[in-house]
Amino acid sequence: MNILFFITSLDVGGAERQVLDLARRLISRNHNVLIVYLTGSGRLISSDKSVRAIGLGSTKSICGGVRSFLSLRALIKSFKPDVVHSHMVHANLLARLVRLVTHVPRLICTAHSNNEGGRLRMYAYRMTNFLADVTTNVSRGAVEAFESKGAVRHGQMLVVPNGIDTDKFSFDELSRSNIRSAEGISANEKVILAVGRLVTAKDYPCLLGAFEILCRVDKAITLWIIGDGELKSELIALCKELEIFNRVKFFGIREDVAGFYSAADVYVLSSAWEGFGLVVAEAMSTERVVVATDCGGVKEVVGEEGGLIVRPGKVEELAATIRLALDMDTSAARALGRRARQRVIDNYSLDAVVTTWANLYAP
């Protein structure tokens, strides 16, 4: 089967990594896969020769949009996909419009959040839904958000969760030891980890505020943040203002993020909104103690016994819950981690999700 993935970018982010994971698994199942991305340099794919990817170099101008439309149409005509699977709002809408003038045997559009924009984007979704054969989102909460905003009719959008490579994201004592040693972390020091783009949705100011509260009485904790984004300079400035700069490390984008999960003691997601919370599932798969905000589909992923849930935007509540996680004795933390990993294996394994997609791709 010829499968064309179309996504807004391949630079950084959970949706982007998920598309790459899907592409690799589908290739291993002898499908012919091409990824097309609208903007950016394709940083995530730059060193991976196993997946064919083409960037359109789109800009935000009207001319840029027209060029992207024509380029996508030409690629579809030359590649002759059996299915086009688009991801994220810009790619979803453009793929639908291209279908008006180009033969696409099957079009599947996937949103990756409960918040993909304001009223205009939701209206655009609603007006173009007829052009997609299947429309999906990554959690029940995200689907309900789209329904409540009028972007889709009730029952029109399916839930297909993100898939986790549980072999890749498994606890590794050697990685833990090596990374902590390289970073000068002592045996009695606790590491809090956050992974994600440095953007408004992730609400890092809430996390930094909570960490500052913890630092008032605990000198043996460190916060690691993996990711990059437009708010990096503002967050660094906030660290200095809160006088925690020397206890927070920004690592930027890392290829070895799986090892950093193992190196951490507590994983924290402070997001204001999420569709699924891919990083939460990755941390759970690595048997970490997870503290996460109740946004989008995160609570669905964590379940009853997979981690600790707090309300979004509540700095003191987040600090208190991280404190509970840090104070867990070793046996309790390990038991919680084992339950969390089993939940991911049972509900979000990558192979099972790839099979779901393969079934949806078939007409």
Give the model's confidence band at 115: pLDDT under 50 very low, under 70 low, under 90 confident, else very high. confident
- Chain segment 38-93, per-residue pLDDT in tens: 988 888 776 677 899 999 988 777 888 899 999 999 999 999 999 999 999 999 99
pLDDT of 145 strictly over 80: yes
pTM comes to 0.86
In this prediction, residue 235 carries a pLDDT of: 98
Q: How far apart are CA 267 and CA 289, in angstroms?
A: 6
**CA nearest to 361, candidates 24, 20, 33, 127:** 33
Question: Residue 232: how many CB atoms within 10 A of its CB?
Answer: 17
111 close to 146: Cβ distance less than 8 angstroms: yes
Beta bridge partners of 250: 225
Which one, of 124, 126, 89, lies nearest residue 109 by Cα? Answer: 89
Give me the torsion for CA of 11, 17, 21, 23, rounded to 10°.
Answer: -40
- What mean pLDDT is predicted for residues 144-171? 94
Give the H or E element holding residue 97. Answer: helix 89-99
For residue 251, which of 225, 277, 222 has the smallest C-alpha distance? Answer: 225
* DSSP-derived 3-state class of residue 110: strand
DSSP helix, strand, coil percent of the chain (3-state; round to 5): 45, 20, 35
> Could you tell me the maximum CA-CA distance found in the chain, to the nearest angstrom?
63
Angle subtended at Cα 254 by Cα 110 and Cα 198, rounded to the nearest 5 degrees = 60
Residue 4 reports pLDDT greater than 80: yes
Question: Please, what are the domains in the chain?
Answer: 2-160 (3.40.50.2000), 173-347 (3.40.50.2000)
> Count of residues for the chain?
363
Q: From CA 175, how far away is CA 267, in angstroms rounded?
A: 16
Question: Could you report the per-residue pLDDT of 283-292, keeping only the tens digit for each?
Answer: 999 999 999 9
Report the pLDDT value the prediction gives residue 284, as an integer from 0 to 100. 98
Name 224's bridge partners: 193, 249
Are 290 and 317 in contact, with CB atoms under 8 Å apart? Answer: no
User: Which amino acid does the sequence have at 267?
Assistant: Y
Q: What is the pLDDT of residues 196-251, one digit of tens each?
A: 999 999 999 999 999 999 999 999 999 999 999 999 999 999 999 999 999 999 99
Question: Could you tell me the pLDDT band of residue 305, with boundaries at 50, 70 and 90?
Answer: confident
Check if the beta carbon of residue 83 is closer than 8 Å to that of residue 108.
Answer: yes
Give strand pairing partners of 266.
192, 289
CA distance 30 to 163: 19
Locate all alpha helices (DSSP H) within 101-170, ordered by sequence: 119-128, 140-148
The pLDDT tens digits of the residues spanning 21-34 come to 999 999 999 999 99
**pLDDT at residue 12 tops 90:** no
Q: Which residues pair with 9 in a beta bridge?
A: 39
pLDDT at residue number 134? 97
> CB burial class (10 A; 0-12, 13-18, 19+) of residue 332?
exposed
